[in-house]
Amino acid sequence: MFLTRRAAVLGLALAALVTPFRAHAAPSEIRLDWATYSPVSVALKENGFLEKALEPQGISVRWVQSLGSNKALEFLNAGSLDFGSSASAAALIARVNGNPIKSIYVYSRAEWTALVTKPDSGIASVADLKGKRVAVTRGTDPHIFLIRALAREKLTDKDVKLVLLQHADGRLALQRGDVDAWMGLDPMMASAELQDGAKLVYRDPSLNSWGALNVRQAFAAENPALVDTVLKAYDQARTWSLEHPKELNALLAKAAKLPEDVVARQLERTTIKYTPIGDGDVKAVAAAGEALAQAGVIPTETDVTKVTGDLIDRAFDAKLTN
């Protein structure tokens, strides 16, 4: 009996030593978003590339639609998504606010937002927005675009009347005349142009940030090989999209429930050719952060350079080029 007890105690001691070094169990499911502002995500979902890659490991895929950067980032913060698509500048705001995410991949570089009005609005410039009602989705690239554009005219968001709506509702509010202007987002913005006769009265591609695929930091730390698998599947979907432009147009039109000519207008403004996260991308996010701090959208004492470094992880993306 003494030997049995001694063996049991020894076994427990060994187990205590071994347990901290036990490999983390792979998840049974990976949760990703898809969004009409990210054409590659639609191609990935519809072609099942990731499902096929994960099938040998017995890991399933759950898809969740994001209606804007704000929703994708909320889902990530709540732990209901592992990967989410947003504008890179919106991801920076989220990181400043404590959302533990990493931006690891560029899914597109697009001019996806502009100031949109009706032809008879009397608004011809950003300066004309003073005192006007502007529909915008808080925490998204259109919101950030507006803040930066107003700053150029020495205005702030206090000089306009913000009407906080999701992107599609913003378009409807402009149609009905409930607002004077709308910070658009494709493909709804392209639809407003072609179907409603709306005008893009102020455009500046430099104020649009790049599309960032974000991952929960804890997920990336625990499952680096799965992050690699997801990015390889994303790049497979990107290659397919470049080789099948008509099919991509049709898939996106179906997903967005919009005519193909509207989606074609969106794709004209969207670059999905692969380029890894570069120094210029990091500088662009930092520049957006500095502007947002000056405008009071994020705390003025924010160390933007540090937060940008904490947010962007180029290690995963770099593997695709090797």
Over residues 143-163, the pLDDT tens digits come to 999 999 999 999 999 999 999
Q: Please compute the mean of the pLDDT values over residues 244-270 and round it to a whole number.
A: 96
Rounded to whole angstroms, how far apart are CA atoms 317 and 322? 10
Which residue pairs from 94-98 have beta carbons closer than 8 angstroms and sit at least 24 positions apart in sequence?
A: 94/139, 95/307, 95/310, 95/311, 96/289, 96/298, 96/299, 96/302, 96/307, 97/298
Q: Which residues pair with 214 in a beta bridge?
A: 84, 103
Given CA atoms 238, 240, 244, 250 in this order, what sign does their dihedral have? Answer: negative
- Of how many residues is the chain composed? 322
Cβ count within 10 A of residue 39: 30
Of 23-27, 89-93, 227-231, 295-299, the least confident: 23-27
In the DSSP assignment, the letter for residue 26 is P
28 pLDDT tier (thresholds 50, 70, 90): very high
Distances (CA, A) of 270 to 136, 196, 253: 21, 21, 15
CB distance 189 to 137 below 8 Å = no
Residue 304, CA atoms < 13 Å, CB-side half-sphere: 20
Distances (CA, A) of 63 to 21, 24, 44, 87: 32, 24, 10, 19
Give the pLDDT of residue 10.
47
In the DSSP assignment, the letter for residue 204 is -
Over residues 267-308, the pLDDT tens digits come to 999 999 988 999 999 999 999 999 888 888 899 999 999 999
Residue 18 has pLDDT above 70, yes or no: no
Give the pLDDT of residue 295.
81
21 pLDDT tier (thresholds 50, 70, 90): very low
Give the pLDDT of residue 179.
98
